[in-house]
A = this chain, B = another copy of it.
Amino acid sequence: MVNTTEFIEDAVEEIQEQIGDANAVIALSGGVDSSVAAALAYRAIGDRLTPVYVDTGLMRKGETDQIRETFSYMESLRIVEAQDRFLEALSGITDPEEKRHAIGEQFIREFEREATSAEADYLVQGTIYPDRIESEGNIKSHHNVGGLPEVVDFEGIVEPVRELYKDEVRGVARELDLEEIISERMPFPGPGLAIRVVGEVTREKVEIAREACHIVEEEVEDHDPWQAFAAVVGKGTGVKGDNRVHGWIVSVRSVESRDGMTARAQELPWETLQRIQSRITGENENVARVVYDVTHKPPATIEYE
């Protein structure tokens, strides 16, 4: 484990040396990695850093408001309302890799516009050590904005947390006084809720996934999982009142892990699972079933796509 105070001093100095008098941009995802990278870079170069948060409509419940509040001290913060454009870009696509690709493309388009108008020469990224390992192993197309450097013509890439593991990043976040909701935040995938709805991304499915993820996060908090969420995985029959309905199946996942490379499905109390299913089916009448994922990684992945 790194000494966080020393790490912050060194990182700030390194960023200043690398960027000099130039401008930089960073894409804020709402997660702890990019939040820490942004806070470090802002400490180093102030408002010459433009933090860009793109609201894709695929974010967690309340996430955009959270970002606005947490980073309100950065005058250069830009929030891009791109929900409709992302839904349109995803329309009709069902293949997981194509979904990731469409999101990546749209993201680059949104981000490039902001980077150009900020006259940024440097790109700051919150890449951490396990991201680099997974990218090298080619296990999945990288969930951060891996395509950015090739598309936007930057003078250099700055990756202040590239040597850290997740728990070390959290330590730095605490030392930087980032709010607990960010420092202790569970991992959230780059493509957001798009990969927590199996198949085509629609507004209805995304809304169900967003609300269900929120319920799961609340209910499992005491069990301290590495990651916990809900995904819309398909349709099945149910009974509401006297009617037979064809409703959504929501799968709940809560896993224990050290670094996300492998994971174990978490044993949750039956009462917790019952509270979760009752809240999720109760709050949305189009949800007919809630199932709990009991598979480890491997053979399953943590996320569904």
Contact = CB atoms under 8 A, between A and B. Distances in A.
Interface string A223-241: 0000000010111111110
Interface in A217-261: 231, 233-240, 242, 244, 246-247, 249, 251-252
Interface string A118-148: 0000000000000000000101100000000
Contacts of A303: 237
Interface residues of A, number: 47
A50 interface: no
A242 B290 CA distance: 30
Contacts of A277: 265, 294-295
Nearest to A267: B270
A299 B265 CA distance: 25
Given A139-B244, A244-B139, A237 B288 contact: no
Nearest to A301: B237
A199 B231 CA distance: 18
A253 B300 CA distance: 19
A275 B152 CA distance: 50
B96 A237 contact: yes
Contacts of A270: 267
Nearest to A198: B234
Nearest to A195: B237
B239 A301 contact: yes
A165 interface: no
B244 A301 contact: yes
A234 B251 CA distance: 11
Interface of A: 96, 137, 139-140, 198-199, 231, 233-240, 242, 244, 246-247, 249, 251-252, 265, 267, 270, 273-274, 276-277, 281, 287-295, 297-301, 303-305
5 contacts: A198-B234, A233-B234, A236-B304, A252-B294, A281-B299
Given A96-B246, A274-B294, 19 more contacts: A96-B237, A139-B242, A198-B235, A233-B233, A233-B236, A234-B249, A236-B300, A238-B299, A239-B298, A239-B300, A239-B301, A265-B277, A277-B295, A281-B299, A281-B300, A288-B295, A288-B301, A291-B295, A292-B292
